[in-house]
Structure 1
Amino acid sequence: MQTQRQVMSYALQRRATLEAMRRPTRPMMESDPCDADPLLIRSALHHGWPAGQECPVCAGEHLTLLAYVFGDQLGQYSGRIRQPSELEEMEQQFGEFKVYEVEVCPDCGWNFMILSYLLGDGRKRRPPRHEQTVEDIYG
């Protein structure tokens, strides 16, 4: 991606979380990293792409990546999952939006945000016109 900037990797936090999970006398963690929401697991199964490595917790082969996009210029499309090919198209259509990459294991429920970054060409644009969706009609 050509316009990727302000990259934030969470690799150190991920490693610390995994080490804390493997300690024999691990203290009670604030949130268990293997408690993925059922909707997150369903999203990983249907919209994610393979991570290319095994799960760090259960060594399963189904570790999946998801990319969520957020930004004022995205309008109603903010907060949705996008594929890498869609991100490449979007970086020319929108001025600035944030991407959060999350890894999810549907087998054991492991989930962790691994990367965040900004994309876009930097030009300020108005959000796209609101289009009526099924959620608007049926609530």
Structure 2
Amino acid sequence: MSSQGQFSAGALRGAGRGVVDHRLARRHLVNEFRRGRLRQDQVCDAHPELIRAARNLGTESRSTCPICQEAKLRLVTYVFGS
């Protein structure tokens, strides 16, 4: 088997060191809401500081909210470091 076809633990690490990808968790949460297993107040629970940052500093995306289908999503980038 070639090295391209081999599975390794490194294949599970995603895009790169220090990059956290929440797409699978987000997709699962939206699907659970659409199936009626979660209420809107259980899903729309962003921290007030995140909401403030999105309103004042975030960039508007072309996507609408997957929950309410009305508001445009705003993208906020955070950099963590010491």
- State if a TM-score over 0.5 links the two structures: yes
Cα 1:52–1:21 change in 2 (3 A) is same
Task: State the match for 1:42 in structure 2.
Answer: 52
Offset from partner CA, 1:62-118 (integer Å, 9 cap, x none): 21011111112xxxxxxxxxxxxxxxxxxxxxxxxxxxxxxxxxxxxxxxxxxxxxx
Q: How far apart, in 2, do the equivalents of 1:18 and 1:48 lie?
A: 22
TM-score by length of 2: 0.63
Task: State the match for 2:31 in structure 1.
Answer: 19
- Structure 1 residue 38: Cα displacement: 2.5
RMSD value, Cα: 2.5
Q: How far apart, in 1, do the equivalents of 2:57 and 2:69 lie?
A: 21
Higher strand share: 1
Offset from partner CA, 1:12-67 (integer Å, 9 cap, x none): 1111111111223x268xx9231122222121110101122111111124210111
Q: Secondary structure at the match of 1:57?
A: coil
1:44-83 map, 5 Å: 44-72=54-82
Cα 1:70–1:58 change in 2 (3 A) is same
Q: Percentage identity across aligned positions?
A: 38
Where structure 1 has 5 or more consecutive residues not aligned to the other structure, the ranges are 73-139
TM-score by length of 1: 0.40
Q: Which has the higher contact order (CA 8 A, sep 6+)?
A: 1
Where structure 2 has 5 or more consecutive residues not aligned to the other structure, the ranges are 1-14
Higher helix share: 2
1:1-139 map, 5 Å: 5-6=16-17, 7-24=19-36, 26=37, 32-72=42-82
Task: State the match for 1:121 in structure 2.
Answer: none
